[in-house]
Amino acid sequence: MHNYRERLSPPVTVFVASALLLPATLLVFLPINVTVGIVMAVVFYVGAVVALVFGSPVLAIDDEGLSAGRARLHAHEIGEVTAFRGAAATAERGPLLDARAWTLFRGWVKPVVKIELTDPTDPAPYWLVSTRRPDEVVDLLTSIRRRTPGR
């Protein structure tokens, strides 16, 4: 049984940068009321943190396939799987990206995994997803693919 789960959450620096909501909110609300300004600044910052954490997509792999966010790729649909890092990952996300590809990547997660699809009727030729552990994802998806009946 294969179980893999990874949330593509942002790094700490994004949460620190979003702290700029605090002074921005205070600038708007302090002239009205100090207490309201402080409360609203905290509410906006906490709301931003909650949105960043719970809005981050999850990659999950089990024996039946891959879930990336809300999308699902069944084991029999998985073709060749390749990991990309550094400049190669940047190229895959940019100039080499097929406009028909299904993508799920975040700017703060640089490595990507390319999953070719076996269904010739699928309009997407492949999936391209961000992951912090591309080798593990490739190994798991390749293992699931090999064990799929009819291969």
* 145: exposed, middle or buried (Cβ count in 10 Å: 0-12, 13-18, 19+): buried
Residues of the chain with pLDDT under 70: 1-2, 148-151
Cα–Cα distance between 87 and 47 in angstroms, integer? 35
Q: Which of 115, 45, 111, 106 is nearest to 84 (CA)?
A: 111
Q: Extract the tokens encoding 98.
A: 């097929």
Backbone angles phi, psi at 67, to 5 degrees: -115, 130
Question: Going edge to edge, which strands form the sheet with 71-74?
Answer: 4-7, 58-62, 65-68, 71-74
Residue 22 shares a structural domain with residue 67: no
Q: What is the CATH number of the domain that holds 86?
A: 2.30.29
Residue 33 shares a structural domain with residue 103: no
Residue 89 shares a structural domain with residue 41: no
Residue 70 shares a structural domain with residue 131: yes
Q: Which of 110, 119, 76 is nearest to 102 (CA)?
A: 119
Residue 78 shares a structural domain with residue 138: yes
Residue 49 shares a structural domain with residue 111: no
Residue 109 shares a structural domain with residue 130: yes
Residue 35 shares a structural domain with residue 95: no
Residue 66 shares a structural domain with residue 134: yes
Q: How many domains does the chain have?
A: 2
Residue 40 shares a structural domain with residue 108: no
| Contacts of residue 70, Cβ cutoff 8 Å, sequence gap at least 6 | none
CA quadruple 69, 126, 88, 147: dihedral positive or negative?
positive
Residue 135 shares a structural domain with residue 119: yes
CA quadruple 126, 119, 55, 138: dihedral positive or negative?
negative
pLDDT, position 151: 54
Domain housing 72: 60-147
Residue 71 shares a structural domain with residue 141: yes
